[in-house]
Chains A and B, each alone.
Chain A
Amino acid sequence: MQHTPLYQAHVDLGARMVDFGGWSMPISYGSQISEHHTVRRGAGVFDVSHMTILDFKGTEVGSFLRRVLANDVSKLQSEGQALYSCMLREDGGILDDLIVYWFGGERFRIISNAATCTKDLAWFREVASGTAVEIDQRKDLAMLAVQGPRAREIVAKSILHSKKCLALGPFFSTQIGNYMLARTGYTGEDGFEVILPAKNVCGFWEALLKHGVVPCGLGSRDTLRLEAGLNLYGADMDESVSPLRCGLKWTVALGEERDFIGRQALYHELKAGLKDKQVGLILNGKGVLRAGYSVRTVFGSGTLTSGSYSPTLGCSIAFARVPVQSERACEVEIRGRWHDARIVKPPFVRHGKIEVDMLQGETA
């Protein structure tokens, strides 16, 4: 089992540690629901040092990334700008989802998932072979996500004493000394992701806690991302589906001038017509929706890809893959009984506010 530099700090705080793709990570430090609310209302910090950090450089790095990623890095117009993308197989299946940052010139950084690290690295090296592209896995770095309406102010004013990082726009990053600060996250709230030398992470963590930032486990990270309408690799998408079927068409730059890996497959899939789509569900009554449960609509059946209890809505929500015509009412099978649910467009919650109509189910 792999440990991040903060492992002992988590254990000392009484965290419940669980296996996350071969890493022993905190799921919660007490109440997962209270950690969730903290991020929606104040500021919380997640240790996400298990994620894969890869640096790319070389004269052919631009053309390499335009080939290997489904989104187009030529959209990155300013230094420090970030772009969300999928990485596809030739048949359009999703190998991973990631964020790519442009550091200017021929230098990029990619943050991808922890469990897919070995696979991603092998794929990048295979596609890059014979080209002037250097790939460096940054095991010397750690990563914290500081999230919530108060997060940026605490990090900028109390810890880094930097006005520069408060001026950072959404989906931009900047370098402050040997810290990289990005206004990105996976919670639906404002905040920073901080990438810093592993040897500095314990001190930075301590400083955050001293200034009232609450340690949050990966359990609340999951309910936050679900409310925010953000997919989880391995649950809502994997190598068996294309981005077109899991709500990520907006991340694919299908322009004809660029031949990225998987483009042909997506082109044919679109031409043939999509049969299903990803939607959000809200359970009308009591109970909890879970990944794998069956859903039925008047247009046919589908499956839940993620599901949990939404602390902000106070009821259960899910993502489901359903026939493309599906709308409004559906039913979900929970332990042999069918329960009424309704189809909505995610996100459920953004910036602390409920984004879906909570009364729709009762009146329909």
Chain B
Amino acid sequence: MSEIPGQLKFTRDHEWVREHDDGTVEVGITDHAQTALGDLVFIELPDTGGSFTAHDACCVVESVKAASDVYCPLAGTIVNTNEILIEKPELVNDDPYGEGWLFRLRPDLPGELEGLLDDKNYERLLAEDNE
């Protein structure tokens, strides 16, 4: 059973979003996603300053098996990226909700975050996918 922390928001593409007091959000991939991908060996982070709309492919995570796009969960501008992952991509496997965060985003639309899934709804999505 994969871990799904409360307080986070989730997308149908298995990204998580953590809201910070300064109005920016931190984004990563869920425990379910990292398990499905397997050992990660390379991460192509977005450029700081880059702006995306929701569902834009903005980052690539590569496991031994395959390359997968990570989609921007909300419209916004990239303000920071987790550059440690360039040397240590395995942090995404080891700690997907903590040290394995991918990038920080300043959202364009304040209300958009509320449209994402909460932990209960994300858990339901995983249960449906399993059926």
Which A residues form the contact surface with B (CB < 8 A)? 16, 27-28, 31-33, 219, 223, 286-288, 290, 308-309, 311, 316, 335
Instruction: Give the secondary structure class of A's interface.
Output: mixed
Q: With A32-B65, A288-B62, A309-B64 as given contacts, are A27 and B42 in contact (CB-CB < 8 Å)?
A: no
Excluding A31-B93, A311-B64, 13 further A-B contacts by CB distance (< 8 Å) are A27-B65, A31-B39, A219-B65, A286-B42, A287-B44, A287-B62, A288-B67, A290-B66, A308-B64, A308-B65, A309-B41, A316-B41, A335-B44
Partner of A335, one of B39, B41, B60: B60
Q: How many Å lie between the Cα of A287 and that of B44 in the bound state? A: 8
Residues in B whose Cβ lies below 8 Å from that of A27: 38, 65
A308 — nearest CB in chain B belongs to which residue?
B64
Partner of A288, one of B35, B38, B42: B42
A335 — nearest CB in chain B belongs to which residue?
B60
Q: Is the CB of A288 within 8 A of B39?
A: no
Residues in B whose Cβ lies below 8 Å from that of A309: 41-42, 62, 64
Residue B125 lies at the interface, judged by CB distance under 8 Å to chain A: no
Residues in A whose Cβ lies below 8 Å from that of B41: 33, 288, 309, 316
Q: Is the CB of B60 within 8 A of A32?
A: no
Q: How many Å lie between the Cα of A175 and that of B39 in the bound state? A: 39
Q: How many residues of B contact A (CB 8 A)?
A: 15
Q: Is the CB of A290 within 8 A of B38?
A: no
Residues in A whose Cβ lies below 8 Å from that of B44: 287, 335
Q: Is the CB of A219 within 8 A of B86?
A: no
Partner of A32, one of B42, B64, B86: B64
Q: Is the CB of A33 within 8 A of B64?
A: yes
Q: How many Å lie between the Cα of A32 and that of B93 in the bound state? A: 12
A-B contact pairs, 9 of them (CB 8 A): A16-B35, A16-B36, A31-B39, A33-B64, A219-B38, A287-B44, A309-B41, A311-B64, A316-B42
Type the 1/0 row for B21-48, where 1 means its CB is closer than 8 Å to any CB of A. Answer: 0000000000000011011011010000
B36 — nearest CB in chain A belongs to which residue?
A16
Q: Is the CB of B86 within 8 A of A286?
A: yes
Q: Is the CB of A287 within 8 A of B64?
A: no
Q: How many Å lie between the Cα of A27 and that of B86 in the bound state? A: 26
A311 — nearest CB in chain B belongs to which residue?
B64
Q: How many Å lie between the Cα of A27 and that of B35 in the bound state? A: 12
Residues in A whose Cβ lies below 8 Å from that of B93: 31
Q: Is the CB of B42 within 8 A of A223?
A: no
Residues in B whose Cβ lies below 8 Å from that of A223: 64
- Return B31 CB to nearest CB of chain A, in Å: 14
Q: Is the CB of A32 within 8 A of B62?
A: no
A287 — nearest CB in chain B belongs to which residue?
B42
Partner of B38, one of A28, A287, A311: A28
Q: Is the CB of A32 within 8 A of B67?
A: no
- Return A10 CB to nearest CB of chain B, in Å: 16
- Return A216 CB to nearest CB of chain B, in Å: 13
Q: Is the CB of A219 within 8 A of B64?
A: yes
Most B CB within 10 A of own CB, among A27, A287, A309:
A309
Q: How many Å lie between the Cα of A311 and that of B67 in the bound state? A: 17
Q: How many Å lie between the Cα of A27 and that of B38 in the bound state? A: 10
Interfacial residues of chain B within 42-84, with CB under 8 A of chain A in the complex: 42, 44, 60, 62, 64-67
A288 — nearest CB in chain B belongs to which residue?
B62
Residues in A whose Cβ lies below 8 Å from that of B62: 287-288, 309
